[in-house]
Each structure stands twice: as structure tokens, then as C-alpha cells.
Amino acid sequence: MFEATKVGRSVDKETFAAEQEGLRTDLLTVQRELKQTDIPVIILIAGVEGAGKGAVVNRLNEWLDTRGVQTFAFWDETDEERQRPRYWRFWRSLPPRGEMGILFGGWYLAPIEHRFRSICNDAELDAELTRIVDFERTLIQDGALIIKFWFHLSAKDQKKRLKELARDDRSRWKMLPDKTKFAEQYSLFEYIAERIIRHTDRGISPWYLIEAADPRYRDLTMGKTLLHAIRKRLGQPVAVESPPSEEPELPNVPSAQITVLDHLDLTLALPRDEYRNELGRLQSEINDLAWQAYKEKRSIVLVFEGVDAGGKGGAISRITNAIDARLYRAIPIAAPTDEEKAHHYLWRFWRHIPRAGYITIYDRSWYGRVLVERVEGFAGEAAWRRAYTEINQFEEQLVEGGIMLFKFWVHISQEEQLRRFEDRESTPYKRYKITDEDWRNREKWPQYKVAVNEMIGRTSTESASWTLIEGNDKPYARVKVLRTLCAGIKAGLERGVCKQSGYIPCGEKRPPPEAK
Amino acid sequence: MFEATKVGRSVDKETFAAEQEGLRTDLLTVQRELKQTDIPVIILIAGVEGAGKGAVVNRLNEWLDTRGVQTFAFWDETDEERQRPRYWRFWRSLPPRGEMGILFGGWYLAPIEHRFRSICNDAELDAELTRIVDFERTLIQDGALIIKFWFHLSAKDQKKRLKELARDDRSRWKMLPDKTKFAEQYSLFEYIAERIIRHTDRGISPWYLIEAADPRYRDLTMGKTLLHAIRKRLGQPVAVESPPSEEPELPNVPSAQITVLDHLDLTLALPRDEYRNELGRLQSEINDLAWQAYKEKRSIVLVFEGVDAGGKGGAISRITNAIDARLYRAIPIAAPTDEEKAHHYLWRFWRHIPRAGYITIYDRSWYGRVLVERVEGFAGEAAWRRAYTEINQFEEQLVEGGIMLFKFWVHISQEEQLRRFEDRESTPYKRYKITDEDWRNREKWPQYKVAVNEMIGRTSTESASWTLIEGNDKPYARVKVLRTLCAGIKAGLERGVCKQSGYIPCGEKRPPPEAK
């Protein structure tokens, strides 16, 4: 694969100077054009040690208008990053629309190093690469342009470069003595690099291999490639790789309209006194469990979705009243801020993922994408259809990161909703809870039912299943939520979390799912 | 001071239940009203150990709609916090306008603990309290409502409560065995508490002392006090404590119009070849120094302000081209995002303060408050006048936190500006740099001159002085910026930073300022 990067290409000083001039102007021009679009540009810089990745990035920062470019190196992980799922740090480094992010190594850094140090084997590496492909696709389908550079040197050139670097006081490389290994084991490194590039070189986010022996050739090629890639993207809409799978065509019989929601027994209820006893007991239990999870540094994420006036709020407050306020954060999901709008829709949820030991309660969530955004037409069909996969991958990462994830759908009947709406309108201190929008949503009950049915079917996964809550009787609903949580957290704490060494997916080592 | 909190007040169960009902409804109502305003509400919870601060906060979260309330405990400092000036963590915890933040201890936590453990003496404590008063005033003048609760117990009651807590598995207190000292040294603690309250109990952000022996009395009093305070604030505009000092009245002579800018020798220039040599040498030096600062974990903040077309951009790019892109972040200051608008104007600058070892370059900055916002009338006179003090205090904190701060004003003559504007309009790739706004600003040259003169006079402090750059000759300007930086960073690294133990201001231990 790397043969073409060891052929001794170079550019002389004069040609470089002449070509650079036009290139700079062109790059500044496309950068300005980019600002007017909603395209975030992600530039990944990777390659062998000594290829001059740092110099390339400095060159880029020299050529581009640095206002609108952010550079991220993933050197030292801060504890805020370490205590969250692995990809949190990448999500927080993503550029907003219209801007560029230059990422050193990015999500490729850990896989390369871990395979190199034999912390993982080829199969585990491949599993991670599959995830990377998914992650990149997610960003690209949201409009991002990802440009990946691999800078390469022959073994001989590398040896020479590393010797020079070791003498240079200004070199970051000097501070990393253990990287000398990379030079000693050139062929292993090349083997890994080839495997990684081969697995992640997709049409929509290709790798560009560049010979790095001559800095002028290296930089000029990189700059021209970048220019070309951005120009091409500016003239093209997003290329959605393949249409996401659709639902089966339904036969024209009444039973085809039955959904999982129709199987809920909404007559279930709990007598007042039983409710009071159970509530007290469960609240005390969940308080204990929250402290225990805090001590064991396990995080918890709760997701509440449900019919309007279904009782989400009441169920949430029965939890928050029980748990120490220092341990949880309740995040109500309303309209996104403009910073949130400038990113992928999952970005606003990633930013609230709790640190180790803490709890985040999402009052409505990323499922808005396949519920309200689908039904109201805010998201196109391709967008909400692929959201199922994106959400499943997102939640898988949370769970792998040691987070205990619980998802509740709180349901009531259409008649019960009407009763509650009317009650809200006639009770002064509840009136703020009901708006015209609620009435409008109510008219779309059938569409919501279809959306919910599909959502539950597609996103109730082994690691992140939905709990459906029969909500007509509020006491019953609240107790069921608390019971599910207590049992789930207890089981989660007992099961423990498999130690993840860096990027290694712990799928294989995960014990079988708990009995339901 | 605490006599009135040891008188044995209590509330019986029935009264509590009856009063609670109305209180909850009222609190929810004011919370909804608050949402429509631009008032952030900060609730500080402090008091003796065992007074039930955690229980109080849980109660508050039970009474209020948790959507719109965030609770912050300042338990474990993350390294992202530790590596920045002390107040960074408080700034990131401030609630946005219309919402509430409940802070456990907040900025009072460290002073109490440090004085208690004799890490500081009374004088040092007082110095910190002065800073707290300033900080709170800054927030209040921006519209914030700060409500500070102190929960108190008699020595006897405290002993009893701590015994109970030690038996309770769910208690956070149990996990902090060294806090037993607090009980043993009740009188010292009370002495410190009194001192702190006395110094920080201002009319605009008063302390409310509440007897905590009876939980029902404690919570009800807290709730009613809170309700009253918010209601009062909703009906009142911000109370600016005292008008900020004004400029002296000027005699009606021409020389009264002379500013520091008139003393700049704008004919200063650098021959081409000298420029090239110096630029290369200085860029190499600043690169070395940036790496050295990285190794020594010293941060650098650069502020660039100046006349339109003065050459800020060119000066900045001569720096960024020299420094490794992994080490710096360039922050162009344009219109604030809506998240930024929902906070104090300094918030958006605090969020970009670099971690230890890194560099942030502000291309325009917090000085916009006293420049464009003043001249264009975006900020009222009271607001921009008090900004001088706010900015000085902000910068003092940066410097105390070990940051090396450099501020540049890049100046050109009015004729030179005209030449550059015309050049920009006639050069295709520069045309994007010039807008109608630039021409409009140009007409306000005299007003800007007055504003700049005053800004430099009021904010060129010992720890954060301005460097004025004669910008008519670009080579001269760029070299002067680089020279100033190199000399400044070198001196800063040699001088080192006094070790700050927690909150202790290091003013006394700071060596005399370097010779200019």
C-alpha cells in the first residue's frame, strides 16, 4: 500500500514558492466560502513518526485564517475526559458548521498504539475500526467533510528524520523517548497502518497517502489535496452512502395497526396506601443505590420520553426528591441553543454525559429525532431513519463506558390525556403546563403511535432496553419507574463493569444480559 | 452574631404541611416568572457541619421545578479546574439568565477551610473576602440575584446531629472522617464564620442566618426567605451600589485633548532586511519559549486590540506561524452566541482561559466593553465605567493563577488607515476584510481615541500592562510585538510563579515587578 509513498518525490524551492502563493489565496477563498455553509470540516493528521505531522499542521495554520480553525492534539487525557465514555473527548473537539478542526491522530491514535503495544489483537482492532467507520459516517451524513491524511516515510528516511529530531530541542518528539520503538519496529507499524487504512478508507471519507520525505512536496501536496476536497464538497450535497433500511410493507388488515403500545394494560393501578409505603421504601433504596454508585464511580443515565401529560415530570420528581441533589443533573430538552445547532444533533446530549459517579436525567432526549422531528417533518426521512443506528451506536458507547442506561416510555390512553389536558386548563397553577402545541400534537396521535412503535422496536437493544410504563394510574407508574431503576442499578452494580484498557471494546468480556 | 440562631425555634408537623403547600405553589409561580426575565439567581448554601445543608438542597429541588435549577457541589476539583485560575470553576457553574444555580459553599468553601486549618491567617482571609465582595458585586450589577444562607446549630445540637449522621450510611458526612474536627473546634469555626459573614454581608447580597436545629423550621424559613427575595428582585431593577468614579472635568484648552496615542512615534520603521533577520530569530525564540512554558506548565494569554486595519491579524499570524499549533488557540471575538449572551459579559472569555502550559490568543477581547460597546452605546455608561474595575480584577486573577498576560494595542494614523482601507477595496483577495462598518467606525475616530486613552490609563496595571505598538510600518510593529513577547515570557519563566495553596492570594509574596 505504501509503495507509492517511497518513490523520492520532491519539490524545489522556487516551484514551492511560486505554487504556495496561489494555493494560499485559494485556501483563504474556500475558507471564506465555507463560512457561509453549514459544513464542518474535519482534518485528520496521521502517519509514521518523524513524517512531520506537527510541521504540516503548523503550515496549515500559516496558510489558513486561524480564526475559524481549531487544532486538537490528544496528548494528555484530562480526568474529565477519562471519566466519561471514550468518544466524549472527540465529540467536544468537533468543529461547528462552517469552521475547520485539525485533529492530530484523533480517534485513530489509540487503536494504532494499542495494537502496536499488543494491548489488542487484530480482531479487536477490526472491531474498533468498524466503529470508527460508523462514527465517521454519522458525521458525514450530517454534512461534515472529513479529510484524512497519512504521511509516510521509508524505513531509511524515517531513521534519518528521527535522528535529526532527537537532536532538536524544540521537538515534541524529544519528550517522548518511548516512541523510539516505532522506528525499531517499522514493519509492524506499517502492517498496522495498512490494516487501519484499508478498513477505514471509504469513498465518503478517504485517506490521502502522502510521501513525507521532502517537506516541500509533503506540504504542497497536502495543501492542494485539501483545497480540492473542500472545493469539491462545496459544489456537492452530502453523499448519503446507501439508503437506510425501510419498514416492511404492511398488509391491508386492521391488525397491521397494532403496536406495542396496544399491549399495555392501562388499567393497572396501585391503591393509595400501598403506593405510600412502596414509594417511601423505594425512594430510600434508590438514595442508597445512588450513593453506592457514586462511591464505585459508576454513572447513570436516565431517559424519559412519553405522551404529553403522561406523567414524565411526576415520575422524574419522585426520583430527584429521593436522591441527593449533588449527585444528579436534570436536563430538560427544549429548543437547541445556536451553539448546539452548529453541531450534529447528538452533540448536545454528549455534552451532558455525566462524569464517573454522577447521574444525568434527560427529560426528553435524542429520541426527539425519531419522534417529534419525524412526525413534524423537522428531519427528513433519510435523517430520522439513520438516527436509529446512530442512537444505538451512541448508547452502546455509553454502556461500554460503564454507564448504566435506563430508558422509559411513559404511556397513557387518549382519553386519559384528554382528562389531564382539561384538568390542567381548569387548575390555575397547572395552566402553564398546557399550550396550543399540546393540542396540536394530540391530533397527531396515530402518527406518534407508529413512530413510537418503530422506535421501541429498533432501539430496544440488549444493552439499552426500553421500559414501557403504564401511566394512566400515576401511583402505579411512579412505583414501576422506581422499581425498575432500583432493580437495574442494583444488578448493574453487582455485575460491575469490565475494565476497558483504552479503546478495546469490551463486548466479548461482557457477561450475559441479566434475566428480565 | 449567632445568638438568634440558638433559641430553639421549631415548627410542628401540621403547620409545616399547611404552610408548605402554599409555599410550593408560590415558589413555582415565581420560578416561572423568573424564566421571563434576564435575572440569574444564585443560591449559596453554607453553615456549620451537621446543619443539614444537603437536606436543605434536596428540599429545594423538591419544591422547585428542577428544569431550570442546577446544583453544584465543589467536592473534587478536576484537573481541568486545577490547571486554571481559581475562579474558573465558579464561572462555569454560574446559572444563565432566568434560571437558578444552587451552590454548596461556593467561593466561601476554601476560605473557611483554609482559615480553619491555619493555612492562612486573618489578614489573608480578609483579603480574600474583599475579592469575594467584588466578585459578587460584579455579578449583581450584571443583574444577578445572590441569596446566601447560613445554617447554624448550637454546640450541643451540633454534637447530637453529628452523632446521628455518623450512624447513617446514606450520609455523605460519614465519608469525611476528618470533619469531626469541626465539632471539636466549634468555637474556632464560629469565629471564622462570623468574620466571613461580617465582611461579606452587604446590602446587595445579604446573608440570611437560619437556626437549623429543627428541620421543619429550617426548611420553611429558607423557603419563605427565598420566595421573598426573588419576589422583591422581580419588582426591582438592579441596585447599583454606588456610581463608579468619573473622569476629571477637562479645562477648555487644546492640550486637554492630547492622549497617550498622540505620543506614539508612528514614523518608526524597520528596513526590510533587518526585518527578515529579526523575524526569523524572534520566531525561533518564541517557539522555544512556548515549549519551555509548556514543560513548566505555565499558561500564556495574549490580548490584541487596535484600530481597524491596524495590523492585528498580521501580528497574530507572525506568532501563530512560529508556535506549534498544538500549543495555542486563537479566539476571534465576534458576536456572542446565545449561551454567551445569557451570562455576564466576562463569561465568554473565562471559558477560553487555557489550561496549564497552553496559550490563548484573543483577537479582540473583553476590552470591547470599554471600546466598541462604549462608543456605539451598546453598554450604558454605568456598565462600561464599572468594567474597568471588573477587568482589572479579572486580569489580576489570571496573573495570580500563574498566567502570563500580554496586552497589545496596535495603532496607526488616520491617514494610514485610509490608505489601507482603499488598498483593501482595490485588492480582490483583501476585499472581504473591509465592510461598511469599518467606514462607519472610522468616522468615530475621536470618540475611540478618548475611549482608548481612558482604557489604557485605567487598565494598565502592575500585573497587566499594555504595550502600545506603533503600527504604521508593519515590519516594525510585528517585530515589536514579538520582541515584547519573547522578553516578557522569558522574564515570566525566570521569575516563576509563587505556589498558591488553595485560595491564598499571593500578592505579598510576589517579587517586585520587572524593570520596564
In angstroms, the separation between the Cα of residue A26 and the nearest Cα of chain B is 9
Name the pTM for this structure.
0.86
Q: What is the pLDDT of residues B324-379, one digit of tens each?
A: 888 999 999 988 999 999 999 999 999 999 999 999 999 999 999 999 999 999 98
CA atoms within 13 A on the CB side of A322: 27
How far does the CA of residue B321 sit from the closest CA of chain A (Å)?
5
Interface test with B, best of A326, A337, A340 (most B CBs within 10 A): A326
Other beta carbons within 10 Å of A112: 19
Check whether A171 has a pLDDT greater than 80: no
Residue B289 has pLDDT above 90, yes or no: yes
Grid coordinates belonging to B13: 408537623
B170/A339 CB distance under 8 A: no
Lowest mean pLDDT among A435-439, B269-273, B431-435, B462-466: B431-435
Asked which of A150-164, A360-374, B479-493 is least confident by mean pLDDT, the reply is: A150-164
Q: Do A79 and B75 touch (CB under 8 A)?
A: no
Residue A143 to residue A239: CA distance in whole angstroms: 9
Least confidently predicted of A475-484, B175-184, B189-198, B255-264: B175-184
End-to-end CA distance of chain B: give it in Å, rounded: 49
- pLDDT, residue B511, reads 40
Q: Tell me if B313 sits within 8 A of A64, measured CB to CB.
A: no
Which whole number is the average pLDDT over B275-301? 95
Judged by DSSP in three states, B150 sits in: strand
Measure CB to CB from residue A338 to each of B79, B326, B338 and give the nearest one.
B338
Q: CA-to-CA distance for B324 and A59, rounded, in angstroms?
A: 10
pLDDT at A169: 61
Name the grid cell of B306: 487596535
Can you give the pLDDT at residue A241? 58
Q: What's the full length of chain B, in residues? A: 516
How remote is the C-alpha of B100 from its chain's centroid?
Answer: 19
Q: Give A91's pLDDT tier (boundaries 50, 70, 90).
A: very high
Q: In angstroms, what separates the C-alpha of B508 from chain A's closest C-alpha?
A: 32
Inspect the interface and report whether the beta carbons of A337 and B332 lie closer than 8 Å: no
pLDDT band at B116 (very low <50, low <70, confident <90, very high): confident
Cβ within 8 Å of A, B 231-260: none
- Indicate the pLDDT class of residue B240, thresholds 50, 70 and 90: low
CB count in 10 Å sphere of residue B7 = 9
Q: Which residues of A touch B363 (CB under 8 A)?
A: 67
pLDDT at B172: 57
Give one DSSP letter per residue of B441-487, joined into a string: HHHTHHHHHHHHHHHHHHH--SSS-EEEEE-SSHHHHHHHHHHHHHH
The answer for B 393-432 residues in CB contact with A (under 8 A) is: 429, 432
Q: Considering only residues A401 and A506, tell me which one the structure prediction assigns the higher pLDDT.
A: A401
Give the length of chain A.
Answer: 516
Amino acid letter, A356? A
| B170: pLDDT strictly greater than 90 | no
- Give chain B's count of helices (H) and strands (E): 20, 10
Q: Do residues A321 and A283 lie in contact, with contact meaning Cβ atoms separated by under 8 Å?
A: yes
Q: Would you call A326 and B28 a contact, using CB atoms and an 8 Å cutoff?
A: no
Give the distance from residue B33's alpha carbon to the nearest chain A alpha carbon, in angstroms.
11
Cell numbers 417529534 label which residue? A372
pLDDT number for residue B76? 77
The answer to whether residue A207 scores a pLDDT higher than 50 is yes
Question: Please, what's the b/e burial string for B10-42 (b: 16 or more CB within 10 A of its CB; e: otherwise)?
Answer: ebeeeebeeebeebbebbbebbeebeeeebbbb
Which of 301-340 (A) contact B at CB < 8 A?
316-317, 320-321, 323-326, 329-330, 332, 337-339
Question: In this predicted structure, what is the pLDDT of residue B180?
Answer: 61
Query: Cβ contact (<8 Å) for A330 and B66?
Result: yes
Q: Is pLDDT above 50 for B505?
A: no
| % of chain A residues with pLDDT over 90 | 59
Tell me the C-alpha distance between B411 and B311, whole Å.
8
Chain A environment of B321 (Cβ under 8 Å): 58, 61-62
Check whether B2 has a pLDDT greater than 70. yes
Tell me the Cα Rg of chain B.
27
Q: What is the pLDDT of residue B250?
A: 72
Q: C-alpha B127: how far from its chain's center?
A: 17
**Smallest Cα distance from A326 to chain B, Å:** 6
- The confidence band for A511, taking pLDDT boundaries of 50, 70 and 90, is very low
Of residues B186 and A178, the one with the higher pLDDT is B186
For residue A290, give the chain B residue with the closest CA: B170
At A104, the pLDDT band (50, 70, 90 cuts) reads very high
- Within 8 A of A175 by CB-CB distance, chain B residues are 295
Which among A115-124, B377-386, B482-491 has the top mean pLDDT?
Answer: B482-491
Q: Residue B311 pLDDT more than 70?
A: yes
CB A28 to CB B291 under 8 A? no
Give residue-wise pLDDT tens across range A303-355: 999 999 999 999 999 999 999 888 999 999 988 999 999 999 999 999 999 99
| Whether residue B516 has pLDDT greater than 70 | no
Q: Which residue, chain included where needed, has cell 487598565?
A: B459
Cell of A163: 535522528
Does A68 reach chain B within 8 Å, measured CB to CB? Answer: yes
Mean pLDDT of B142-162: 91
Predicted pLDDT at B507? 38
Which residue in the block uniquely carries the three cell numbers 485539525? Answer: A102
pLDDT exceeds cutoff 90 at A74: no
Chain B residues in contact with A359 (beta carbon < 8 A)? none
- Position A335 scores a pLDDT of 87
Q: Is the pLDDT of residue A238 over 80?
A: no
pLDDT higher at A4 or B240: A4
Residues of chain A positioned with their CB less than 8 A from the CB of B60? 325
- Is the per-residue pLDDT at A510 higher than 60? no
Q: Give the gap in angstroms from C-alpha B390 to the nearest C-alpha of chain A.
A: 27
Distance CA A331, CA B99 (A): 13
Region B183-212 average pLDDT: 87
Q: Say which range, A187-201, B155-169, B203-217, B266-280, has the weakest mean pLDDT.
A: B155-169
Mutation target for A interface from B35, B66, B69: give the one with most A CBs within 10 A: B66
In the block, which residue shows the cell 437495574?
A488
Give me the total of CB pairs closer than 8 Å, taking one residue from chain A and one from chain B.
114
User: Which residue did the predictor score with more confidence, A258 or B318?
Assistant: B318
Mean pLDDT lowest among A118-122, A239-243, B272-276: A239-243
Give the least confident one: A319-323, B13-17, B63-67, B91-95.
Answer: B63-67
Q: List the one residue out of A101, A29, A14 whose CA is nearest residue A60.
A: A101
Long-range (24+ apart) CB contacts under 8 A made by A372-380 are A372/A441, A374/A451, A375/A444, A375/A447, A375/A448, A375/A451
| Contact state of B58 with A338 under an 8 Å Cβ cutoff | no
Query: A128-132, A178-182, A471-475: which range is least confident on average?
Result: A178-182
Mean of the per-residue pLDDT values of chain A: 88
